[in-house]
Amino acid sequence: MAGDRFSRILRIAGLILIAVGVFILLKINYTDVETSYTQERMHDEWIKAENRTRGSDFHEDLPVVSAPSRRTASTKRETASSTETTSSIARDQKAVKRVAVAHLKPFARIVIPRISLDAIVVQGVDEQALALGPGHMEETAYPGEVGNMVISGHRVTHSHPFYYLDELKKGDPIEIYSLSNKKYTYYVVGQKVVIPTDVSVIAPTKDKTLTLTTCNPRYSAKTRLIITAKMLDEDKLLN
């Protein structure tokens, strides 16, 4: 009897673990699709604004993202492959409400050729902002400015824009496009891992610095992966 009872307990525990695992996978996939929709919408708005203002001095008048659409903040070796289903309408409605509450505008566009990343950066690094894509820490520098511009992003969930961030190498270019569509190229100078409470990585600098932050290792928030890049000549960085 005791053996049968123990076996039943093990079976129940196993079923619970399987259910939890399935729930986690479904949640990850759901957030990936939702963020991909929003990123597509922001890309569309970015292109429209670029076309409207080509040749003019455009400054921060992109419309608030009002509804998600389909597209991924593309990352190397995998893309969102979701198709429309009957649940798409429900997802859209939830995403619309979330974005409407956030009142977030696109801040910049980030392109990292090494990891095939092309994403719209939003303003802010709270949970709501990062659910839309990479986020700019508001009190830090802006594109091309002297100082430390800090951009954070998810490594898993929410289309995982920084999933392959650890593959960046010294000298790799990181392109930042401002709202006026001016391109600023930063070059990677270093990579390190710090504890979450280490705020030295976001401290102001005396040169034009870009700092990318994400959770480390993947599927954990135990530490933070930090990529540091400088707006300098590529030749100087490689020597």
Phi–psi pair at 52, nearest 5 degrees: -70, -30
**Which one from 43, 158, 160, 215 is the annotated catalytic residue?**
215
Active-site residue (options: 43, 136, 154, 158): 154
Residue 154 designated active-site:
yes
Q: SS3 for the chain, per residue?
A: CHHHHHHHHHHHHHHHHHHHHHHHHHHHHHHHHHHHHHHHHHHHHHHHHHHHHCCCCCCCCCCCCCCCCCCCCEECCECCCCCCCCCHHHHHHHHHHHHHHHCCCEEEEEEEHHHCEEEEEEECCCHHHHCCCCEECCCCCCCCCCEEEEEECCCCCCCCCCCCHHHCCCCCEEEEECCCCCEEEEEEEEEEEECCCCHHHHCCCCCEEEEEEEEECCCCCCEEEEEEEECCCHHHHHC
215 is catalytic: yes
What is the pairing mode between strands 106-112 and 173-177?
Answer: antiparallel
Residues annotated as catalytic are 154, 215
